[in-house]
Amino acid sequence: MTQAPEVLSSSLINGVLRLEMNRPPVNALNFALIEGLHAGFRRAQREDQVRAVLLCGASKTFSAGQDVRDFAGAAEVSYRYHLQRTYNPLILQIRRLEKPVIAAIQGAASGAALGIALACDIRIAAEQARFVVGFNAIGLAPDSAVSLLLPALIGLGRAAEFTFTNQPIEAELALRWGLVNRLAPAERLGEAALALAEELAQGPVGAMGLAKRAFNHAVLSDLERALDYEGRLQEIAGKSEEHKEGVRAFLEKRQARYF
């Protein structure tokens, strides 16, 4: 019997726990990958040898977000329940981990994967990277803390525009707006991100953790409530005709018709 490939690989290098999503072709998030991420961040919390976390994708894409095919054919889906089991606890794990978390982003970070990237402390992106809110493409509202983190980083007006139009935020623009901290050539992204993570791992990680706690208190004190409210709104959106048409169009590879 052929063993299923590992969808998340992990390695500990010089105090850096490297978590690499490996679900070709676009690292779409399914239940196995999400649980792998939960387990990876539990390890980071538990092990003193882990002093920083580097999150990346194994392919040319960071992650296209939730795998819509997971829900295809389901008679009814509770998106609020889904978020409570998957992305909400993952976002809280990342923010509550009192160690630096760096995201290395190549290709697209879309939908829930955008929320995961935004929850990380520092983002370093390839020069060809792009950030797509994504939810609107299938008639959903933002979740995975995107409703809080995206306006916090780039401003409410910009967040609204790129949510409503679903246009990508290209890497150079993301850097100018503060959505990412640094850019690197695609061929050097992994090296540059690991070097930054190793540098942080050699520093006063305890003090960094307290600083992160302070940032959470000052800027993200409403994070849990925001995640819960997103779930309530997603429950409404998930039952709408717009969402049903958006999913049909996605699976049929055509333009959605909303009117």
Question: Could you read off the pLDDT of 220-244 as tens digits, one per residue?
Answer: 999 999 999 999 999 999 999 999 9
β partners of residue 66? 29
Q: pLDDT value at position 77? A: 83
Q: What angle do CA 64, 15, 7 make, to 5 degrees?
A: 30
Which residues are within 8 A (CB) of 222 and not within 5 positions of it... i.e. 6 or more apart? 148
CATH class of 8-186+205-252: alpha beta
pLDDT tens for each residue of 101-119: 999 999 999 999 999 999 9
Which residues are within 8 A (CB) of 128 and not within 5 positions of it... i.e. 6 or more apart? 106, 107, 171, 186
Closest residue by Cα to residue 236 from 152, 105, 141: 141
Q: pLDDT value at position 2? A: 41
Q: What is the mean pLDDT of the chain?
A: 95
Report the sign of the C-alpha dihedral through residues 110, 116, 121, 123, in that order: negative
pLDDT tens for each residue of 138-152: 999 999 999 999 999
Confidence grade of residue 5 (pLDDT, cut at 50, 70, 90) = low
Q: Which sequence spans correspond to the domains of the chain?
A: 8-186+205-252
Q: How many helices (H) and strands (E) does the chain have?
A: 11, 9
Interval 75-80 mean pLDDT: 85
* Residue 253 pLDDT > 70: yes
Nearest-angstrom CA–CA distance, 24 and 61? 9
Helices (H), the chain: 31-46, 79-85, 87-96, 112-119, 146-154, 156-165, 171-177, 189-201, 205-219, 223-238, 241-252
75 vs 68, higher pLDDT: 68
